[in-house]
A = this chain, B = another copy of it.
Amino acid sequence: MINYCNQKFSKSSVTAEALGALDEINSFLGLCKVQSSYLELKLGNESFAEIVHEIQKNLFIIQAEVAGADKTIEEKKVTELEEIIEKVEKELPPIKSFFVSGGPADITAWQQAGAGLGAIFDIARTIARRAERRVIAASEEILQPSLPIDNKSENSPLGGRKKEIGKHTKSYLNRLSSALYIFARYSNHVSGIMEEAPDYR
């Protein structure tokens, strides 16, 4: 059994899966923050390390919410994240739907640190997407009437939720992977790395 914020879950429940995936993206962002700090990546006056640190703190709120605590992401935080995405996007060439992560094969030596940061932001994006899928799965579970929901506690012994995940929390997780995508592109851009789209050949 997992004990998180005074709620207990079976380790094989969908809630435990969602909490585990959120934990994975939160800790992986710790690495992104350290590398951003090393490269002194900035957006205007604000460092990317500060931006990532703020995201990590918001993920702790989501982790508490998924665990059953009376917390949720406020709309204001979604708007803030969208504003950051917009700001970074303005610095970039027009967007393509996909690009091959890590830059082309022939980058120069001084581009490697930036390409490395771009690569780990892109890895973070894919882990964030996994966390989003797991939270949605945990959120959908309550809609299945066949689950043995325990009416006496906030969560059933099987991890069935009685409370929907907040709308803005879902939006935040959705925007998070967009933000990490744009951070990966920005890291490449400031290092002079050209993006290459896949050619499907």
Contacts and interface: CB of A to CB of B under 8 A. Distances in A.
Contacts of A137: 11-12
B119 A30 contact: yes
A53 B100 contact: yes
A105 B31 contact: no
B100 A34 contact: no
B105 A37 contact: yes
A100 B56 contact: yes
Given A16-B133, A116-B35, A136-B11, A53 B23 contact: no
Interface string A114-127: 01101110110111
A161 interface: no
How many copies of this chain?
3
A174 to B, nearest CB: 10
A185 interface: no
Contact of A126 (B27, B71, B133, B136): B27
Given A20-B129, A34-B103, 4 more contacts: A24-B126, A31-B102, A31-B120, A33-B103
17 contacts: A11-B132, A12-B133, A12-B136, A16-B133, A28-B123, A30-B100, A30-B103, A30-B123, A32-B102, A34-B116, A35-B116, A37-B112, A38-B112, A47-B105, A53-B100, A57-B198, A61-B198
